C-alpha cells in the first residue's frame, strides 16, 4: 500500500467518530473535515455541511472536460461504539498493524473502504486527468440510521449520472465483488395487546384471549413454508437470475460450506446448495426477535 495513503488512513482511524452513543460532536466534525481537506487540497470545492443530525462532508472534483458526466462517491466516516473494551487486543482508536491487517474501529467499515476511492479521485484531479466530475458525499449517521444523507440526496436537484458506494463486502479475501443491487428491507416491531391488565394464567388461561397465541397465529400466516419459501404475495416482483449469473455463482464457495463456517445449519436439506439463489435473488423473512416479558404494564405478554 502507498505509505502516504496508509498514514492518511491511520490518521482518519484515530478520530473516534462514534455515532451510536458515547461519541462527541467535535470528533464527528473532525472526521468530516478530514474529507473536506483532502478534496480542497486536490483543487476541488468542499464543505462540512450542517444537518439536523451529524454533519456531511460534501465536495466536488471537476473533470478536465466540462460536459463530462458526474459520478457520486459515497462513504461514511462514522463508526459504531467500541463495545466491550476488554475484547480488543489493542485500543480501537489506536490503529495497530498485525500480520498485514489493520486493527481499529472503522478500518474496514467504512473509512478503510472509502479512502482509496477518494485518494484515486483526488490524485486524478490533481493531475488534471479526471475523466468524470466526482461528487464526494460522506455521511456521519450510517451506523445510527440517520436520515440526513437521504434528505440531502433528495433535495440536491443536480443529481448524478452514477453512484459508487464503497460500503459493502468482498466474497472472501481473494475475491473482490461488485454489488449491483440489494434486496431491500422492510422492518417493524410488532406489539400485540389483548387485555387491559396482567391476567393470571391459572385463572384466565384457556378462556381468555392471550397475546402470545394471537401473535403466533399472525406470524404463522406469513412464515416461510417447510422448504423456506415465502408465500407468493411476499415474493412478487422477484426476477429469476440469468444463466450467466447462475454460472458465476457456481464458481464461488459452496453454500453448504459457507453456512457451516458461520456455525449455521441449512434451513432444509438442499438449501445450502441454493445459497446464492436464496440469499441473492429471493425474498426472506428473518431476524424475528421474541422478547417475552411479564412486567410490561397492562399486557399479559409483550412480544417484539
Residue 217's H or E segment, with its range, is: helix 211-220
Q: Which stretch binds Zn ion (CB under 5 A): 21-29, 41-49, 85-93, 159-167?
A: 159-167
- Sole window of 34-42, 116-124, 167-175, 254-262 interacting with Zn ion (rule: CB under 5 A): 167-175
Return the number of the residue (79 or 125) whose C-beta is nearest Zn ion. 79
Q: Where is 49: in which H helix or E strand? A: strand 45-49
User: Measured from the CB atom, is 167 or 282 closer to Zn ion?
Assistant: 167
CB nearer to Zn ion: pick between 144 and 296: 144
> In 3D, which of 214, 236, 222 has the Cα closest to residue 285?
222
- Return all residues near 27 (Cβ < 8 A) that are at least 6 apart: 15, 16, 17, 18
Q: Which of residues 268-287 bind Zn ion (CB under 5 A)?
A: none
Nearer CB in complex with Zn ion: 78/274? 78
CB of 80 to Zn ion, least distance (A): 9
Interface with Zn ion by CB under 5 A: which range of 28-36, 54-62, 163-171, 272-280? 163-171
Least separation, in Å, of the C-beta of 141 and Zn ion? 11
Nearer to Zn ion, 141 or 274 (CB): 141
Residues in the chain: 304
- Of 17, 14, 2, nearest in space to 75 by CA: 17
Rounded to a whole number of angstroms, the minimum distance from the CB of residue 246 to Zn ion is 29
Binding-site size for Zn ion (CB under 5 A) equals 3
Q: How far is the CB of 4 from Zn ion (least distance, A)?
A: 24
**Residues 105 to 144 in contact with Zn ion, rule: CB under 5 A:** 109-110
Beta-sheet strands, E only, within 77-157:
96-98, 101-103, 133-139
Closer residue to Zn ion (CB): 110 or 141: 110
In whole angstroms, the minimum distance from the beta carbon of 256 to Zn ion comes to 28
Contact 60, 45 (CB under 8 A): yes
E strand segments, 109-225: 133-139, 162-165
If binding is defined by CB under 5 A, does position 37 make contact with Zn ion? Answer: no
Question: Could you tell me the smallest distance in angstroms from the CB atom of residue 160 to Zn ion?
Answer: 20
Q: In a 3-state reduction of DSSP, which class is residue 165?
A: strand
In the complex, minimum distance from the CB of residue 156 to Zn ion, in angstroms, rounded to a whole number: 21
Beta-carbon contacts of 96 under 8 Å, excluding residues fewer than 6 positions away, are 89, 90, 102, 103, 104
Nearer to Zn ion, 109 or 141 (CB): 109
The answer to the question of residue 167 lying near Zn ion (CB under 5 A) is yes
Which residues ranging from 82 to 111 are in contact with Zn ion (CB under 5 A)?
109-110
CA distance 23 to 241: 43
User: Would you give the end-to-end CA distance of the chain in angstroms?
Assistant: 47
Bridge-based pairing state of the strands 70-76 and 162-165? parallel
Q: 112 or 224: whose CB is closer to Zn ion?
A: 112
Helix/strand/coil for 92: coil
What residues make contact with Zn ion under the rule CB under 5 A? 109-110, 167
Amino acid at each position: 500500500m502507498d505509505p502516504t495513503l496508509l498514514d492518511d488512513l491511520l490518521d482518519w482511524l484515530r478520530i473516534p467518530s462514534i455515532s451510536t452513543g458515547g461519541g462527541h460532536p467535535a470528533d464527528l466534525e473532525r472526521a468530516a473535515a478530514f474529507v473536506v481537506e483532502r478534496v480542497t487540497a486536490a483543487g476541488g470545492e468542499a464543505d462540512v455541511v450542517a444537518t439536523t443530525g451529524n454533519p456531511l462532508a460534501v465536495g466536488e472534483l471537476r473533470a478536465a472536460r466540462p460536459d463530462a458526466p458526474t459520478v457520486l462517491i459515497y462513504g461514511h466516516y462514522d463508526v459504531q461504539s467500541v463495545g466491550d473494551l476488554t475484547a480488543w487486543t489493542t485500543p480501537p482508536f489506536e490503529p495497530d498493524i498485525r500480520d498485514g491487517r489493520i486493527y481499529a474501529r472503522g478500518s474496514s467499515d467504512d473509512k478503510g473502504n472509502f479512502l482509496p476511492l477518494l485518494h484515486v479521485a483526488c490524485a486524478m484531479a490533481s493531475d488534471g486527468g479526471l475523466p468524470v466530475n466526482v461528487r464526494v458525499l460522506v455521511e456521519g449517521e450510517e451506523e445510527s440510521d440517520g436520515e440526513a444523507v437521504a434528505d440531502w440526496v433528495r433535495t440536491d436537484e443536480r443529481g448524478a449520472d452514477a453512484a459508487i458506494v464503497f460500503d459493502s463486502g468482498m466474497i472472501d479475501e481473494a475475491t473482490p465483488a461488485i454489488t449491483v443491487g440489494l434486496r431491500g428491507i422492510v422492518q417493524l416491531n410488532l406489539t400485540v395487546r389483548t387485555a387491559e391488565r396482567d391476567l393470571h394464567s391459572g385463572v384466565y388461561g384457556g378462556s381468555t384471549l392471550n397475546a402470545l397465541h394471537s401473535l403466533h397465529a399472525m406470524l404463522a400466516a406469513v412464515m416461510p413454508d417447510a422448504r423456506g419459501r415465502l408465500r407468493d404475495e411476499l415474493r412478487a416482483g422477484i426476477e429469476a437470475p440469468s444463466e450467466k449469473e447462475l454460472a458465476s455463482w457456481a464458481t464461488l464457495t459452496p453454500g453448504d460450506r459457507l453456512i457451516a463456517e458461520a456455525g449455521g445449519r441449512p434451513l432444509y436439506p438442499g438449501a445450502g446448495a441454493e445459497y446464492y439463489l436464496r440469499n441473492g435473488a429471493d425474498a426472506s423473512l428473518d431476524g424475528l426477535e421474541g422478547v417475552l416479558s411479564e412486567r410490561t404494564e397492562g399486557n399479559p405478554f409483550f412480544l417484539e
